[in-house]
Structure 1
Amino acid sequence: MSTPDSPTPPGKPSAAPLTDRQRRVFDALLDQFLTRGFADFTIDRASRDLRCSKTTLYALGPTRDAIVSRVLVSFFRQIAVRTDAALAGHRSSAAALESYFDAIVTALEPASPAFIADLHRDPVGQQVYRRNTELATERIIRAIEAGVESGEFRRHSARFTATVIESAMDLIRSGEFNTILPAQDAYRELGQLILHGVVAHRTPSA
């Protein structure tokens, strides 16, 4: 039988509204996760570190994994809001995509190497990160398709491009490039590769 701190499969984060005190604890947890990771997070340790009752922590989720999941989902939801906004209001699809990847890089700046590493190895982090990578991939592909339809991007195999993007995003998510460059920089480089690969090259007029 699982104890509250045991690694159980995460369910959906609780949607119950937070009190001011719970919100402060929640925000403090996110700051801690971003600074030092979350693989070693336990209810007992958090109660001591944040000087709060376990009851306050359990208001955030019924188990250790549910709390971690809720915090991570909130973090990636904030990123999604920022990156979705970055796609809007541009005159060209290329500018929209560049803005999108810049927004990803900026949003991930507070994330320490320990946080990124835990997204790769902690089961809860893997699940949340994987889902958000899938959603980000869908947004990128839609932006490329819009550029193709407008004639800004060259026509190519949408399925091939989608597969390449999905593979690259998944490799970044899994930490495959960690020994080469940080995840933030990997997203920036991927953005440049995509843009230079899909932009239609027109012969200059004489």
Structure 2
Amino acid sequence: MSTSEAVGAGDSHRRSAVHTRRAELLDRLCELFLAEGFAHFTLDDLAGRLRCSKSTLYTLASSKEQLSVRVVGHYFKRATANIERRVETATDVRLRMRAYLDAAAEELRPASRRFIDDMAANPATRATYEANAAAAADRVRSLIKEGLDRGVFREVDAALVGEMVGLTITAIQRGEIGERTGLSDAEAFAALSQFLVGGLSAPQGPGGETRHAHTTEET
């Protein structure tokens, strides 16, 4: 190996080590935010809780506001990746629908009410929050359309159901469902999963085959 190659390899190793340390720090911040919220923390508080220097935190973001946005974004990016890994293992669209919403419930379960409230109260993090809710609603709409195309979901207006699901997901993530029902966000997602999969599944014939419902009424 030449000297230049050795230097290049050393630089690559250092960049990889820095990336790993930052990812680990983001994960630790994420767990802290989920458990306790973030609005009340100062950078000094966070440095003390994580036992690192403020300069280390500044490698992630230049201010507390930007750090909050980055950590919230990291949480949703990590949650989305975990959810999609669960979805990929299911071959039937009904199972994918259930896997998606059940996994969403599981990812939300560690999120304290204070974390949810802090996200909603901060315009910068609320934008990330609402974008994630919109993406989740779009994902459910695509699963509904796939189920209709495959004939395993009963004939419904996919756009209308998708809109209803989107509004429900937004209401869950804003805390409105929890306030009205007493359910946690995770419990609300689990209930939505059961309602959707059970309500959309097409009726089956005596032999277990799917029967396509007709909307024309008999007279």
- Provide TM-score, normalisation by structure 2: 0.78
Q: Distance in 1 between matches of 2:188 and 2:103?
A: 13
Q: From the CA coordinates, give the structure whose radius of gyration is larger.
A: 2
Residue 124 in 1 paired to residue 124 in 2? yes
Partner of 2:64: 64
Q: Distance in 2 between matches of 1:22 and 1:79?
A: 18
Partner of 2:9: none
CA offsets 1:137-168 (integer angstroms, 9 cap, x no match): 11111111111101001122122111101111
1:78 partner letter? R
What SS does the aligned partner of 2:177 have?
A: coil
C-alpha deviation, 1:53, in angstroms: 2.2
C-alpha deviation, 1:200, in angstroms: 1.0
CA offsets 1:76-127 (integer angstroms, 9 cap, x no match): 1111111112222423211111111121122223222322232332323322
CA offsets 1:43-88 (integer angstroms, 9 cap, x no match): 2322233332222111111221211111111111111111112222
What SS does the aligned partner of 1:56 have?
A: helix
1:100 partner letter? Y
* Percent identical: 28
Greater mean deviation of Cα atoms: 23-32 or 173-182:
23-32
Q: Distance in 1 between matches of 2:174 and 2:111?
A: 16
Partner of 2:93: 93
What SS does the aligned partner of 1:196 have?
A: helix
C-alpha deviation, 1:19, in angstroms: 4.8
Quick check: 2:101–2:193 contact (8 Å CA) kept in 1?
Answer: yes
Partner of 1:197: 199
Higher RCO (CA 8 Å, separation ≥ 6 residues)? 1
Change (3 A) 1:82 1:42: same
Change (3 A) 1:150 1:100: same
Residue 106 in 1 paired to residue 106 in 2? yes
Partner of 1:12: none
Q: Give structure 2 stretches of 5+ with no counterpart.
A: 1-14, 208-219
Superposition CA RMSD, Å: 2.2
Give the structure with the higher percent helix: 2
- Provide TM-score, normalisation by structure 1: 0.83
Q: Give structure 1 stretches of 5+ with no counterpart.
A: 1-15
Change (3 A) 1:155 1:26: same
Partner of 1:187: 189
